[in-house]
Structure 1
Amino acid sequence: MPMDEQQIRYAPGRVRDAILQVMSLSSRPLSVKEIETRVGRMIGAAPTSSIRSYLRLNTPELFVREARGLYTVRGTAAGGTPRVSPATQQWREPVRFGKATLYHADCFDWIERQGNNTIHAVVTDPPYGLHEYTPEQQAKLRNGRGGVWRIPPSFDGHVRSPLPRFTVLTPEQLEYIRTFFLVWARTLMPRLVPGAHVVVASNPLLSYIVSGALAEAGLERRGEIIRLTMTMRGGDRPKSAHDEFPEVSVMPRSMWEPWIVYRKPIEGRVQDNLRKWGTGGFRRPSQDKPFGDVIPSAPTRKAER
């Protein structure tokens, strides 16, 4: 029986919200078929007629019809997060560096172009919050005041890099982060070989959101790798009440960074998976030393910058 005839029912607004969110994650116009596919990864199969109808009824108020059958979301329609106009995206050609190839591309588009069972591992340190990279917040960052960016004080003559304030994110913006990683992980899943690990850098305030999204997408949680590092985040006294509460830190000073570890389910036993795909475990530093989950880290050396 066709999907429309089955009359799949979702809570009011769920399909609408999914359409807005998946379109806001794209840096280019999407076809109706692409929108349907990405909405399906987020909430499950949705009737094509519902998606087409919502696009038709809300163009041009919420959507821009860039060409026949191609749509973008207008302004801040999705999650209060302004999207970058596809016209401003100028992707460059891939660059080879030793054995590595660097791609300048939209990650969703690039992943979708890869064949199934072709990616053996993913290690990524993505931007968080998404809100801090909107044009408005970037302008405040460059002006050095206001917005979600915290400008740390200079120390020993060194100007420190700005840091986003994750504590100011709204529930809507936190949900946007969850949506991003859910759609990302579901897009990635079929491209991963069985046993492929996915390691994602996070922070103690947001790791639970990212972890939940990856688990919902079907990846298996395999623990966390803890990177020991001293940051400028946390440890401050109450704002505008430093003298009144000199012995109080509002939240702990962050001295570690969680890298959450997930794995695509293996085929059979680990040994079988290793023989067929070469994946399923981590390489040991030596035969006598197992791979550990705590990594001491020093400040980035000048040569590495």
Structure 2
Amino acid sequence: MCYKVFNEDCFDWMENQSENTITAIVTDPPYGVKEYTEKELVKKRAGSGGIWRIPQKFDGCTRQPVPRFSVINDDPEERKNVYLFFERWARLAKKILVPGGHIFLASTPLLSDIVGSALRSAGLEKRGEIIRSVCTLRGGDRPKNAEDEFPELSVIPKALWEPWCLYRKPLAEKTVAENLRVWKAGALRRPAIDRPFSDFIQSEKTPKIERDIVNHPSIKPQSFLRQIVRAALPLGEGIVLDPFSGSGSTLAAADYLGYDSIGVEKDTEFFRQSLHAIPKLSKLYGQTTLQI
């Protein structure tokens, strides 16, 4: 088992890869497209906001910065940019995936329809949606600057789940079984012989022990990632790619499972952090505590 991390723009990296070389993609992309640009990251790191909502302490805990996706959702030009970004990305993903290779893509209820349309246009097949059940700090707020006037209202629902889009490159063989024999892809690995992989996963906020290892605003918990990364390689063979690898948490989950993986991260600071974080995250909890 091994992992490699590249400090590159994923579009450039994917463009230069050969066809049919990646078995699965598991990633949490920049859904606002612009929130991880250098300009917006500088603002976030300086605590000056921009598209990032820099939160106050809440119930005694310091809240993580989160992107204001509602700003994007309200702007037709921004929605168009999201579509074009993901259509271009999906065409590259389709090229490098083996036939039958799956994509697990972290999403948001406000933009997942746009992204899904882009992935379909690129020729990928929708195979469902994974529901990560987790109480986030998104939504539920009263009307801004009129909280006292409208105390019984919420502008949008309180978010208690996170959708993960599930897409697949079309099969090259006549049946799933034959595709598995030839390409090692086309299905999802069961957590147990008597239990199929489920589209509902009870999750948690990323534990403090993991956030203390790497300071990244979008780090997902190992307890969740290890489940979907395991499912992504149906025969336990091949390569998992995270083209927006950020904290390196996807690669850490793959390393824990003994899978080969590749990460691509454009931001140099996140790239450097991930090199130190991946082995530490991979070693957390031991081999007996993974619930799948």
Give TM-score scaled by structure 2 length.
0.67
Larger radius of gyration: 1
For the pair 1:175 / 2:74, whether they are aligned, the reply is no
From the superposition, tell whether residues 188 and 146 of structure 1 become closer, same or farther in structure 2 (CA, over 3 Å).
closer
Distance of aligned partners of 1:159 and 1:278 in 2 relative to their CA distance in 1, 3 Å threshold: same
Task: Give the Cα–Cα distance (whole angstroms) in 2 for the partners of residues 287 and 125 of structure 1.
Answer: 29
Does residue 112 in structure 1 map to residue 15 in structure 2?
Answer: yes
How many angstroms apart in 2 are the aligned matches of 1:137 and 1:111? 24
* Amino acid in the other structure paired with 2:197: F
Match of 1:210 among 90, 93, 115: 115
1:128 aligns with 2:31: yes
CA RMSD of aligned residues (A): 1.7
- Corresponding residue of 2:287: none
State whether residues 273 and 280 of structure 1, in contact with CA within 8 Å, keep that contact through their aligned partners in structure 2. Answer: yes
1:57 aligned residue: none
Are residues 1:189 and 2:94 paired?
Answer: yes
Q: CA deviation at 1:167?
A: 1.0
Contact 2:33–2:85 (CA under 8 A) maintained in structure 1: no
Counterpart residue identity of residue 158, structure 2: R
User: 1:226, 1:256 within 8 Å by CA — same for their partners in 2?
Assistant: yes
The gaps in structure 2 that reach 5 residues or longer are 212-292
For 2:34, give the aligned amino acid: H
Q: Secondary structure at the match of 2:35?
A: helix
Letter in 2 for 1:302: K
Query: Distance between the aligned counterparts of 1:244 and 1:178, measured in 2?
Result: 37
State the partner residue of 1:141. 44
The one-character-per-residue Cα deviations of 1:100-157 (angstroms, maximum 9, x if unpaired) are 2222211112112221111111111011212334455445434545532222221344
Between the aligned partners of 2:141 and 2:185, the Cα distance in structure 1 is 43
Identity %: 56
Asked if the contact 2:136–2:205 (Cα under 8 Å) also holds between the matched residues in 1, the reply is: no
Higher relative contact order (CA 8 A, sep 6+): 2
For 1:303 and 1:154, the matched residues in 2 are separated by 19
Structure 2 CA distance for aligned equivalents of residues 284 and 219 of structure 1: 22
Match of 1:232, SS? coil
Indicate the residue corresponding to 2:156 in structure 1.
251
Q: How does 1:5-154 map onto structure 2 within 5 Å?
A: 99-145=2-48, 147-154=50-57
CA distance in 2 between counterparts of 1:125 and 1:142 reads 20
Structure 2 vs 1, CA of residues 132 and 112 (structure 1 numbering), >3 Å: closer, same or farther? closer
Runs of 4+ in 1 over 4 A off after TM superposition: none
Equivalent position of 2:62 in the other structure: 159
Q: 1:282 to 1:250 in 2, by over 3 A?
A: same
Q: What CA distance in whole angstroms lies between the structure 2 residues aligned with 1:289 and 1:135?
A: 44
Gap regions ≥5 residues in structure 1: 1-97
SS at match of 2:180: helix
